[in-house]
Structures are given as C-alpha cells and as structure tokens.
Structure 1
Amino acid sequence: MGDGDFSVSVTNEEVVAAVVPMQEHWLPLSNLDLLLPPLDVGVFFCYKNPRVLTSTTLGDCDTHKMSFGSMVGSLKKALAQTLVSYYALAGEVVLNSIGEPEVLCNNRGVDFLEAEADVELKNLNFYNPDETFEGKFVPKKKNGVLAVQVLDIIRQ
C-alpha cells in the first residue's frame, strides 16, 4: 500500500455540548489574535486498545479489549464534562458589531465525528504526514472552535 493510498469514511457525526447549560456571553480575542491570520491547527493521537478487567459470576477475572463503541461513548461523556470548564471550546467565532472576530460562548458544542480507516499505522509515513494522511485523520472545523474525530483502524 503506497503513501496516502487508503480511505477514511465518516460513520457518524454529532455535536457534543457541555453537560450543564451556560449563560451566553462574548469573549474578545487578544490583539495578537487580531493581528495574525487565522490558523487552523490539527493534532491526532494514537492509542492502543485498552484491556478491560471484568469479573465473572464465579469470581474469576477476565480481560478483553474495549469495543470501539464503548470507547467513543467514554470520550463523548468526558468531552461533555470537560466543556463545562473549557466553555470557550464549545462556542463559535463570530463577528461583533464592529466587524472583529470574537468567541461567542453559547455552548453550541463540538463537532464529533466517528470514522473508519482501511490502513494499519505501520503503513503510514509519519516522516511526511502531508503526503500520507493530511486531511484524513483531522477533521475540518465547520462552525465551532473545535472539531474531534475518533478513528477506528480496520485491520485488513
């Protein structure tokens, strides 16, 4: 499989908001934010599938890998709780009355995408990410301040 020769398909899209409602308010950007051109930063992390310890009815312990669905559910729940403290990330950048961008803290939520990829990590060129997986692992922000994509690697 050559560099970038794989597909990523989105299987679910939703918006995750903070678990508690918040009063809407505006946050002005700093002078530095207003001087520099808008910059979109993408970051992705890779995690090994964790093993979960469960006990059986006989008192024995058993381990198994966590399902993708339960990992996604845990991430969404944790994100919704985190957005309470980092409420600006659940907002959106809009223009104020004089045309300057500001963060509207309205608990719009974070775009949360679930996707599948038909590639193994060992086949990716991490020395040249622009040619290998640019635009496939990190979603583009549509309306909000932050977008998250959780990717399930489908083994061949």
Structure 2
Amino acid sequence: MANLQTNKQKQYYIPLERTPETVITEEYKDCEVRWSKIGCRKVRTVLIPATEEQYREYMRPLWREDKRQQRHGADEVSADKVRDDYELEVPDDFNLEEEVVKKELLAALRHELAALQDIDRTILLMIADGASEAATGKAVGLSQKAVNKRKHKLYALLKEHLKDFR
C-alpha cells in the first residue's frame, strides 16, 4: 500500500504564457497549448513540468498579487513597483483635519441612510437623481404631497442626526 502512494506523487506544472514574443525551446515547441488561469486572467499557455518547490516559488507572487488586487482594486499601484525615492505630491491647500471630518461625515451619513426604511431611501434616491415629487410618488405609491412631507421629515431627521458635523 505504501508503494502505491509513493508512485502516485502529484506532478506539478508551471504555466508559461504563449504569446508571439515568447521564446520556447525545441523541447516544448510541439506541446499542447491550452487555456490556463494566470493570476486573475485566462491566457493561452504551455505547461512546463516542475518540482513542488519550483511550482510554489513561481506561483507565490501571483497568489500574493491576485489577493492584493482583490483587496485594494486593480487600479492601485503595487507596493513592489513603487520606488523608494518616489515622493507624494500634496497640494498646498490640503487640510488633513478637514479630510478626516469629511470621511467621518460620509460614514455617518451612510449609516443613517442604511437605517432608513426602503421607501424613504427610494424617495431620497429619486429626488437626488432629479425626479419630480409627482414621479417619485407614482413610483412608491404615494401622492406628491405625501412625498413632499416625507422628504422634509427625512431632511430634518438627517440634519438632527448629523448635527455634530456642522
């Protein structure tokens, strides 16, 4: 039984992207080209046999980069690509305290909006998008006057809850 397990060791392959610029040795010229996932994109590849250590070392940076992109978004600059002598330019009129207060206000506003009923959120959203009170009333099943009253009550409620940010 032990012999069967040692004979069935897992074979590892490193995917090599096949592009017109890729240089491939004679040994792999006639290999089957297949679609593989490298990072978070599918590309045409040739599979190159490798040891487990080689495979793990090759794939580790891709896993790390893929996870970073999932956490921070693909449009951010990779920490590996940023040079040590890179200096961040800050505008002269930048006020850190003001920026922090803005972020806190937005977080509090989102929290308050999440606590509203669905109909109230719909009313505020439609009004913010430029819909008339009559059109909003038709969408939510209320009269124009009821939408007007509810809108003003919502504004007063939000103003009261966010008074610390004035």
Check whether TM > 0.5.
no
Q: TM-score, normalised by structure 2?
A: 0.19
Whose RCO is larger (CA < 8 A, sep 6+)? 1
Q: Which has the larger radius of gyration?
A: 2
More strand by share: 1
